[in-house]
Amino acid sequence: MEKDKQIFDIIAREDARQHMGMELIASENFVSHQVLEAMGSCLTNKYAEGYPGKRYYGGCQVVDEAETIAIERVKKLFGAAWANVQPHSGAQANMAVFMACLKPGDKFMGLNLSQGGHLSHGSPVNFSGLVFDAVEYNVDPETGLVDYDKMEETALRERPRLIIGGASAYSREWDYARMRAIADRVGAIFMVDMAHPAGLIAAGLLDNPLKYAHIVTSTTHKTLRGPRGGIILMGEDFDNPWGKTTPKGQLKTMSALLDSAVFPGTQGGPLENVIAAKAVAFGEALQPSFKTYQQQVLVNARALAKALKDKGYKIVSGGTDNHCVLLDLRENFPELTGKQAERALVEADITANKNMVPYDTRSPFQTSGIRLGTPAITTRGADVIMMTVVADFIDEVLRNVDNHEAIASVREQVNAMMAPMPIFAD
Ligand code: DSN
């Protein structure tokens, strides 16, 4: 068969874009060559509904081994007692937790999307907000930090059955112990979605939510640097608190509820090629070099935040504890929207995304902020010295959003800087 030139030309162009550009989207990264290889392997051909040793199709004896290794490696990585590696994405992992823990209409609490929360933590346009009754908690308008006192007040008033910690655009450490205490006071399940900082947590550089939360979900492709996908973990299993059983009455534990909520509850056949790639990525994350990489991600994020602050930019919460830096444009450029800033940065081959900032008056399609992150650029070898140059480039672009000549000059410098930097961690 002839090669599909149309599609492979597009892949080659995307490869060039990734290679020559500066990737600052906080949720993106570059996987190793062996992760790509596992994803592109013949495991994609296999149907394997069910779980290792309990499949609906024959011929699963080989993929069973890969899935079992993925489970064992991720348990070791995070100190988990139980893991499900089948969710196709973080949102699918979260959906399975909702299915296992709540009935339609039940109340739960998550961080307000416009203040850094995630779509699947209660947005009215997502299943979480459509099927369940979402109550939000917020950040303090002055500090930009989660307001745990108000969270507790709201929890006592609203009595949610589930409380979610974790965010998409929050650059500070979480007080998981406080959240667990709040959940215990109201009899709620405490879940943490650690998708963004998972790699930093795996490396032991941020507090591990598995010590506090009943259930932890994550994606595998952000700081964790694996293939696109999701996981669900528990530090320890516990009895099914809702007495929810199948007609045969066998779902006695939360792990059984969660397994059944992933398959057959919300997904069909697992992507065994992606699960094998997850196993490879978990294996990489267990190596000492992964910790060195994550230390550099943190140091780079702090250096980037400082360099921007030194230039007079406002950083939400004043800095960062993780890989993410949220720039509030309102002070320096009151007329500039996040959308315009994103467009100008992309014109300079600097990829970042517009983002709402706490108490933003603009819509999610315009926004007043830009979210930056260091995981991807650090995989390519960036150090703190480079972070000051990155801040210079961003500043130059934001001061010249309509000056295409100035932006072209930044683009040339970006391309010259990125061209010699390797894209594969291995
Ligand atoms: N879209 C992801 C992010 O950028 O944070 C969250 O799912």
Query: What pLDDT does 252 receive?
Result: 80
**Residue 150 designated active-site:** no
Query: For atom 5 of ligand 1, which residue has the closest CA?
Result: 168
- Region 303-332: mean pLDDT is 97
- CA 251 to ligand 1 center in whole angstroms: 32
- CA 299 to ligand 1 center in whole angstroms: 22
Q: Do 20-30+288-418 and 34-285 agree at the fold level?
A: no
- Region 353-360: mean pLDDT is 97
More confident residue, 424 or 316: 316
**Residue 193 designated active-site:** yes
Domain ranges of the chain: 20-30+288-418, 34-285
Residue type present at position 365: F
Classify strands 133-137 and 107-111 as parallel, antiparallel or unpaired.
parallel
Dihedral sign, CA of 375, 221, 162, 243?
negative
Query: What pLDDT does 241 receive?
Result: 76
Q: Is residue 350 within a helix (H) or strand (E), and if so which, with residue range?
A: strand 350-351
Beta strands in 258-343 (DSSP E): 314-315, 324-328
Q: Which of 219, 220, 223, 367 is catalytic?
A: 219
**Residue 148 designated active-site:** no
Tell me the best of 92, 114, 168 to mutate to test the pocket of ligand 1, counting ligand atoms within 8 Å of each CB and taking the most.
168
- CA 27 to ligand 1 center in whole angstroms: 6
Coil, strand or helix at 353:
strand
How far lies 272's CA from each of 15, 50, 60, in Å?
25, 11, 10
Query: For atom 6 of ligand 1, which residue has the closest CA?
Result: 168
Q: How far apart (Å, rounded) are the C-alpha atoms in residues 226 and 290?
A: 12
- Region 277-286: mean pLDDT is 98
Closest ligand 1 atom to residue 91 Cα is 7
Closest ligand 1 atom to residue 353 Cα is 4
Lowest mean pLDDT among 42-56, 122-136, 234-248, 272-286: 234-248
Residue 365, burial from CB neighbour count under 10 angstroms (0-12, 13-18, 19+): exposed
**CB-based burial, 384-409: b 16+ in 10 Å, e otherwise:** eebbeebbebbbbbbebbeeeebbee
Q: Which of 76, 159, 178, 228 is catalytic?
A: 228
Tell me the best of 24, 28, 118 to mutate to test the pocket of ligand 1, counting ligand atoms within 8 Å of each CB and taking the most.
118
Query: For atom 4 of ligand 1, which residue has the closest CA?
Result: 27
Question: How many CB atoms neighbour CB 72 within 10 A?
Answer: 13
- CA 373 to ligand 1 center in whole angstroms: 12
Q: Which of 28, 49, 64, 158 is catalytic?
A: 49
Ligand 1 neighbours by CB, cut-off 6 Å: 27, 90, 118, 168
- Region 2-22: mean pLDDT is 97
Query: For atom 3 of ligand 1, which residue has the closest CA?
Result: 27
**CATH topology for the 20-30+288-418 domain:** Aspartate Aminotransferase, domain 1 (3.90.1150)
Given a cut of 60, whether residue 270 has pLDDT beyond it is yes
pLDDT digits over 368-377, tens only?
999 999 999 9
Tell me the best of 23, 24, 25, 27 to mutate to test the pocket of ligand 1, counting ligand atoms within 8 Å of each CB and taking the most.
27
Residue 421, burial from CB neighbour count under 10 angstroms (0-12, 13-18, 19+): middle
Q: Which of 28, 47, 175, 347 is catalytic?
A: 47
pLDDT digits over 127-174, tens only?
999 999 999 999 999 999 999 999 999 999 999 999 999 999 999 999
- CA 196 to ligand 1 center in whole angstroms: 8
- CA 72 to ligand 1 center in whole angstroms: 26
Given a cut of 90, whether residue 425 has pLDDT beyond it is no
Query: What pLDDT does 240 receive?
Result: 81
Q: Which of 172, 222, 225, 278 is catalytic?
A: 222
> Mean pLDDT of all residues in the chain?
96
Q: How far apart (Å, rounded) are the C-alpha atoms in residues 299 and 114?
A: 27
Contact 327, 391 (CB under 8 A): no
Dihedral sign, CA of 369, 375, 379, 384?
positive
pLDDT digits over 227-253, tens only?
999 999 999 999 887 665 655 566 789
**Residue 15 designated active-site:** no
Tell me the best of 115, 222, 356, 372 to mutate to test the pocket of ligand 1, counting ligand atoms within 8 Å of each CB and taking the most.
222
- CA 25 to ligand 1 center in whole angstroms: 9
Query: What pLDDT does 424 receive?
Result: 80
Query: What pLDDT does 248 receive?
Result: 54
Residue type present at position 332: N
Q: Which of 134, 138, 156 is nearest to 146 (CA)?
A: 138
- Region 282-292: mean pLDDT is 98
**CATH topology for the 34-285 domain:** Aspartate Aminotransferase; domain 2 (3.40.640)
**Residue 219 designated active-site:** yes
Contact 130, 124 (CB under 8 A): yes
Given a cut of 90, whether residue 380 has pLDDT beyond it is yes
pLDDT digits over 91-124, tens only?
999 999 999 999 999 999 999 999 999 999 999 9
**Residue 222 designated active-site:** yes
